[in-house]
């Protein structure tokens, strides 16, 4: 199938994310780059409010497809298989892009043939505050410690083909595995040094659920990409030791903080009383 040159196919998986889907669609419609199609994949939503909101979406550039629930990787693959663009933009239904992201990232793909994927710095949105983080991008060696790109990003359809799509068997972090697989094919991930992606930190999100099973995911990743991890085992160990050291420093700072010492002083008599009661009984 011939792909439409410079057309961006925006793939938005949606599973019971009706409260945010309007914002996701609007952030695409407001892009300064307007050569796109929007494909929303209803991944088996069973929430009535989400179903109603999806039914109300009516825009000439937007299409809503329905499928049985299969998870984020399955929904993305389903949408990409039915897309027409030379470029693919994935966007989770509860996140947003800056209006200039498409224009800037399409220019990069057009100007740099070795770049397969484009990401950016990220702003994480919490209930009462925001945090910013840098995503560096890079080659395959950059991704063995963690995902150096956002889950939502722009890439060439050819990258998706080279990687044989998103892995639908991995128990979580399918976006990280996809980035590893793409970069193993020789592609580079370019990161725009601007905060152009907005990630909503929602309680019990897919990311939170993935974190809970991280050991199982890492086992899957290292088995599937065994040679890559073997070739960089020293880097993996070094980075893990740095993380452990940072955690230990954080614990040390907390234990030496005034609030911790005050709390310990208040609890000390209560602990002594508890021990005395245990002794008397």
DSSP string, 77-130: HHHHHT--EEEEEE--TT-EE-TTHHHHHHHHHHH-TTEEEEEEEEEEE-SS-E
pLDDT of residue 233: 81
Where do runs of H (alpha helix) occur along the chain?
A: 18-29, 48-56, 72-81, 101-111, 157-162, 174-184, 206-212, 214-224, 226-231, 233-255, 258-280
Asked if residues 191 and 149 have their Cβ atoms less than 8 Å apart, the reply is: yes
Other CB atoms within a 10 A radius of the CB of residue 165 amount to 17
Dist. CA 137–CA 116, nearest whole Å: 11
pLDDT (0 to 100) of residue 145: 86
Residue 68 CB partners (closer than 8 Å, separation 6+): 44
**8 Å CB contact between 199 and 96:** no
pLDDT in tens, the chain (281 residues): 689 999 999 999 999 999 999 999 999 999 999 999 999 999 999 999 999 999 999 999 999 999 999 999 999 999 999 999 999 999 999 999 999 999 999 999 999 999 999 999 999 999 889 999 999 999 999 998 889 999 999 999 999 999 999 999 999 999 999 999 999 999 999 999 999 999 999 877 778 888 889 899 999 999 999 999 998 887 777 666 776 777 777 777 767 776 766 666 677 776 666 666 655 55
What pLDDT is stored for residue 240 in this prediction?
Answer: 66
Cα gap 261→264, rounded to integer Å? 5
Q: Could you tell me which residues are beta bridge partners of residue 195? A: 121
Domain 4-231 class in CATH: alpha beta
- Our measurement of the distance from residue 77's CA atom to the centroid of its chain's CA atoms, rounded to an integer in Å, reads 16
Q: Within the chain, what is the greatest distance between any pair of CA atoms?
A: 83
> Exposed, middle or buried by CB within 10 Å (0-12, 13-18, 19+), for 61?
middle
Burial class of residue 255, CB neighbours in 10 A (0-12, 13-18, 19+): exposed
Q: How far apart are CA 41 and CA 54, in angstroms?
A: 10
- Give the angle subtended at the CA of 160 by the CAs of 155 and 164, to the nearest 5°: 165
pLDDT at residue 275, as a whole number: 67
Alpha carbon distance 62, 29 (integer Å): 10
pLDDT of residue 192: 98
pLDDT at residue number 252: 72
């Amino acid at each position: 199938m011939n792909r439409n040159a410079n057309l961006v196919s925006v793939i938005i998986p949606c599973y019971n994310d009706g409260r945010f889907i309007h914002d996701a669609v609007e952030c695409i419609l407001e892009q300064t780059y307007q050569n796109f199609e929007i494909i929303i994949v209803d991944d088996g939503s069973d929430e009535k409010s989400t179903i109603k909101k999806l039914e109300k979406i009516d825009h000439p550039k937007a299409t809503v497809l329905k499928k049985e629930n299969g998870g984020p990787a399955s929904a993305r693959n389903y949408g990409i298989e039915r897309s027409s663009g030379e470029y693919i933009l994935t966007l989770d239904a509860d996140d947003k892009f800056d209006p200039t992201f498409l224009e800037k990232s399409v220019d990069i793909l057009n100007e740099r043939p070795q770049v397969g994927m484009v990401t950016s710095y990220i702003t994480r949105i919490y209930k009462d505050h925001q945090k910013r983080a840098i995503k560096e991008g890079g080659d395959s060696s950059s991704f063995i410690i963690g995902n150096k790109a956002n889950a939502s990003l722009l890439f060439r359809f050819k990258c998706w083909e080279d990687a044989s799509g998103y892995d639908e068997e991995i128990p979580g972090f399918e976006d990280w595995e996809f980035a590893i697989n793409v970069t193993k094919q020789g592609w580079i991930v370019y990161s725009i040094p601007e905060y152009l992606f907005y990630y909503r930190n929602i309680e019990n999100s897919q990311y939170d659920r993935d974190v809970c099973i991280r050991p199982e995911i890492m086992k899957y990743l290292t088995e599937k990409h065994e040679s890559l991890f073997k070739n960089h085992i020293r880097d993996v160990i070094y980075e893990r030791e740095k993380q452990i050291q940072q955690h230990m420093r954080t614990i040390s700072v907390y234990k030496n903080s005034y609030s911790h010492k005050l709390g310990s002083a208040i609890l000390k008599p209560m602990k002594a009383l508890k021990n005395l009661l245990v002794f008397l009984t």
